[in-house]
């Protein structure tokens, strides 16, 4: 089974969302459930999937620190819907740490994730935050 990078980002989002709810979950088991819900066989985990999940997890504090300045003063990371925060972390991770992903691609992929997993208001919010971050060349 060969996944596109877009599909891998969706699985990474789902894995990060699950790990947010249950930080002690077994990552490999989680990947297998996401990649192979019928449990027909153990599948090879795409390396980009573990790169994204591990990268976002290990750099979460610095990613959050980079996101915070782009929130209005009345908002804190704690108040963001978890879906939006995880999507932003993924996007900022790709922008900061993945050299072969152009900024435009990371932003577009984040917006696609909000379309799939959130609502229109979230899509506008995520788009606005990433737009400001890219314009300020912060990332």
* Of 6-20, 33-47, 100-114, 119-133, the least confident: 33-47
User: pLDDT at residue 76 above 90?
Assistant: no
In the chain, where the domains are located: 5-135
Three-state SS at 76: coil
Residue for token pair 């993924």: 90
Q: Give the per-residue pLDDT at 137.
A: 67
Q: 5-135 maps to which CATH number?
A: 1.10.940.10
Helix, strand counts (H, E) of the chain: 7, 0
Between CA 45 and CA 56, with CA 50 as vertex, the angle to 5 degrees is 160
Q: Give the per-residue pLDDT at 44.
A: 86
* 15-39 mean pLDDT: 89
User: pLDDT at residue 47 above 90?
Assistant: yes
CA-to-CA dists, residue 14 to 17, 38, 104, angstroms: 5, 17, 22
Round to whole Å and give the CA distance between 105 and 98: 11
Judge whether 43 and 1 are in contact, CB under 8 Å.
Answer: yes
Q: Give the per-residue pLDDT at 39.
A: 74
* 105-131 mean pLDDT: 94
Q: Give the per-residue pLDDT at 1.
A: 58
User: pLDDT at residue 18 above 80?
Assistant: yes
At residue 88 the predicted structure's pLDDT band, cuts being 50, 70 and 90, is very high
Q: Give the per-residue pLDDT at 2.
A: 81
């Amino acid at each position: 089974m060969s996944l596109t990078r877009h599909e891998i980002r969706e699985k990474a989002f789902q894995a990060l969302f699950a790990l947010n709810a249950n930080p002690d979950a077994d990552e490999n088991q989680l990947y297998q459930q996401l990649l192979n819900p019928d449990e027909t066989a153990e599948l090879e985990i795409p390396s980009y999937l573990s790169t994204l999940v591990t990268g976002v997890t290990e750099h979460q504090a610095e990613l959050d620190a980079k996101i915070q300045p782009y929130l209005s003063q009345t908002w804190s990371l704690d108040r963001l819907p978890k879906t939006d925060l995880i999507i932003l972390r993924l996007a900022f991770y790709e922008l900061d740490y993945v050299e072969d992903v152009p900024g435009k691609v990371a932003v577009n992929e984040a917006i696609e994730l909000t379309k799939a997993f959130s609502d229109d208001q979230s899509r506008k919010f995520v788009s606005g935050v990433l737009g400001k971050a890219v314009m300020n060349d912060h990332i």
